Amino acid sequence: MMKIRHTLRLITVMIGMFALIGTLAPASMRAQGTYDGNWSGTTEQSTPITFTIANNSIMSMELDFEFNYGGCIISGPTSQIYYQEGVPITGNEFVFEWNDGRAVVSGTFNDSTSASGTFFHSVNQGAGCTGQNEITWTATKEGAAQPEPQPQPEPAAPTEERCFEETGHCISGRIREFWEQNGGLLVFGLPIGPQQEETIEDQPIQVQWFERNRLELQPENERPYDVLLGRLGVNRLEQQGRSWFEFPKGQAQDGCLFFEESGHTICEPFLSVWQADGLELDGAPGKSQQENLVLFGLPVSEPQSETLSDGSEYTVQWFERARFELHPENEPPFNVLLGLLGSEVSNPPVAEEPTPEPVSTQYDGNWRGKTSQGRDVSFTVANQTITSMKYKFDVSDDCNIEISHESPRATPIPITDDGFLSTLDDDELSITITGTFNSDTLVSGTIQGTSSMSDCRGNVDATWEASRQ
């Protein structure tokens, strides 16, 4: 979108701003008011508004704004508005307007130090530059005492923490109790994150990640089911795009456990490890098969050879909640280890991004120059792209036009083959500017086109030159 400012039109607007409607009482008849002082604030567009009040009358105001009417962008500030007698405040409100009601500022004083209101603006210049807008504003009196911030209660200090220097994370409460009672470091590994809320199967749940699993708090369940384990074996296979349903099935054989539910077996050396640990359910010595299942889940593969994240090849077997890995270089019982699925699932490897091609900076910098009409031309280049540009030209003896091409409202202009071209084409203006870089420090080009604006008609055919600053 181009921002177009017309010299003659601006003069008309400035004159119209002082056409205040209303009868104002002489300043000598008004006593010093509650709201006297300097006020400042912002509009909903995050632009500034400032005004000064004396004797309960607004003596000056400046309000910055920008409205997009499709065919044009009109922006402020509204200019410094000054009235000798001021705009009176009636009760706790004020209203004033100018430009035959096309611009209106109204406000209400909420108390002696704060105010709010609206700014209404309308335009009817044809060619798509028609419409109306309204924004809100708030302001406070400068120097007014602000309320003291209320102290916030300190969060409750964590209790019964057990912290690990290796990762810098701690466990506490029910998660610590569960971790210590059901295998600790060998089964779950170190904590790799704090306890926090996450969405699991569309439900917000308090969880904590460990090297080998994820513990999930389910306080609505009776113990020991108030802490559940993530199905990280299945989750990791899904991350890798592998379906355990497609793995080759096993069959019943001596010395192994066969599970019809999944169609897989557990044999040595993995069987002894699977049977040695489990979630304590009945308080009886040893671990039952049900306790083994609750901790590790069903087998979802047969033992198979895989290359893991360290680049080495191992014999592994996948379970719903674990991956058993055979490390024959270790003495039993450490020849079977549990994979670090917590670390892998919570931080899956990211594919390396291709290295981008280097961008030319040959013409980067600020450029300034003149047209053959003596008008200014300026633009900025970054990474072989013109990010902003302003230029002026005459279409008649008494009318000149300024074009402002600035991001993000306007698309940056690429430099191709040491040159560029930019065209503005709407109902009232058809302008093309071209440029050729003659060297790293000198550029020249042309400005050609037609203006059909009602009060600024004519043609332009000018050349221009600029140099890098």
Q: Is residue 388 part of a domain?
A: yes
Across all residues in the chain, what is the average pLDDT?
Answer: 82
Band the pLDDT of 29: cuts 50, 70, 90: very low
Percent of the chain at pLDDT exceeding 70: 82
What pLDDT score does 146 carry? Answer: 56
pLDDT beyond 60 at 422: yes
Could you tell me which residues come within 8 angstroms of residue 402 by beta carbon, excluding any fewer than 6 positions away?
4, 5, 390, 391, 392
Band the pLDDT of 17: cuts 50, 70, 90: very low
Q: Is residue 151 part of a domain?
A: no
What pLDDT score does 399 carry? Answer: 86
| Closest of 38, 184, 65, 160 to residue 120, by C-alpha | 65
Domain end point (choices 198, 230, 262): 230
pLDDT beyond 80 at 387: yes
Q: What is the distance between the alpha carbons of residues 422 and 402, in angstroms, rounded to a whole number?
A: 15
pLDDT, mean of residues 299-321: 94
pLDDT beyond 50 at 423: yes
Domain end point (choices 346, 381, 413): 346
CATH of the domain at 419: 2.40.128
Q: What is the distance between the alpha carbons of residues 437 and 171, in angstroms, rounded to a whole number?
A: 64
Band the pLDDT of 4: cuts 50, 70, 90: very low
pTM of the model: 0.43
Q: Is residue 123 part of a domain?
A: yes
Range of the domain at 438: 365-468
Q: Is 201 helix (H, G, I), strand (E, B) or coil?
A: coil
Examine the domain organization and report whether 168 and 111 are in the same domain: no
Q: Is 411 helix (H, G, I), strand (E, B) or coil?
A: coil
Q: Is residue 147 part of a domain?
A: no
pLDDT beyond 60 at 281: yes
Q: Please answer whether residues 34 and 90 qualify as being in contact, where contact means their C-beta atoms are separated by less than 8 angstroms.
A: no
Q: Please answer whether residues 244 and 234 qualify as being in contact, where contact means their C-beta atoms are separated by less than 8 angstroms.
A: yes
pLDDT beyond 80 at 358: no
**What is the count of structural domains for the chain?**
4
Band the pLDDT of 404: cuts 50, 70, 90: confident
CATH of the domain at 55: 2.40.160
Q: With residue 274 as reference, give the H or E element that holds it.
A: helix 270-276
Examine the domain organization and report whether 170 and 214 are in the same domain: yes
Q: What is the distance between the alpha carbons of residues 229 and 320, in angstroms, rounded to a whole number?
A: 10
Q: Please answer whether residues 39 and 141 qualify as being in contact, where contact means their C-beta atoms are separated by less than 8 angstroms.
A: yes
pLDDT beyond 60 at 287: yes
Could you tell me which residues come within 8 angstroms of residue 159 by beta carbon, excluding any fewer than 6 positions away?
172, 173
Q: Is residue 377 part of a domain?
A: yes
Examine the domain organization and report whether 18 and 125 are in the same domain: yes
Domain end point (choices 86, 111, 141): 141
The tens digit of pLDDT for each residue in 44-82 reads 888 899 988 888 888 888 888 888 776 577 776 654 444
What pLDDT score does 350 carry? Answer: 52
Band the pLDDT of 396: cuts 50, 70, 90: confident
Examine the domain organization and report whether 137 and 10 are in the same domain: yes
Tokens of 65: 């704004």
What pLDDT score does 408 carry? Answer: 59
Main-chain phi, psi angles of 211, to 5 degrees: -55, -35
Examine the domain organization and report whether 329 and 286 are in the same domain: yes
Examine the domain organization and report whether 407 and 337 are in the same domain: no
Examine the domain organization and report whether 116 and 42 are in the same domain: yes
Chain centroid to CA 188:
36
What pLDDT score does 272 carry? Answer: 93
Q: What is the distance between the alpha carbons of residues 288 and 274, in angstroms, rounded to a whole number?
A: 11
Q: What is the distance between the alpha carbons of residues 437 and 417, in angstroms, rounded to a whole number?
A: 9
The tens digit of pLDDT for each residue in 122-164 reads 887 665 677 888 899 999 998 866 555 555 553 333 458 999 9
Q: Exposed, middle or buried, 426 (CB in 10 Å: 0-12/13-18/19+)?
A: middle
Tokens of 385: 């792209």
What pLDDT score does 67 carry? Answer: 80
pLDDT, mean of residues 195-212: 92
Query: What is the 8-class DSSP label of residue 154?
Result: P
Rank 306-310, 428-432, 435-439 by mean pLDDT and report only the highest.
Answer: 435-439
- As a whole number of Å, the end-to-end CA separation of the chain is 27
Band the pLDDT of 409: cuts 50, 70, 90: low
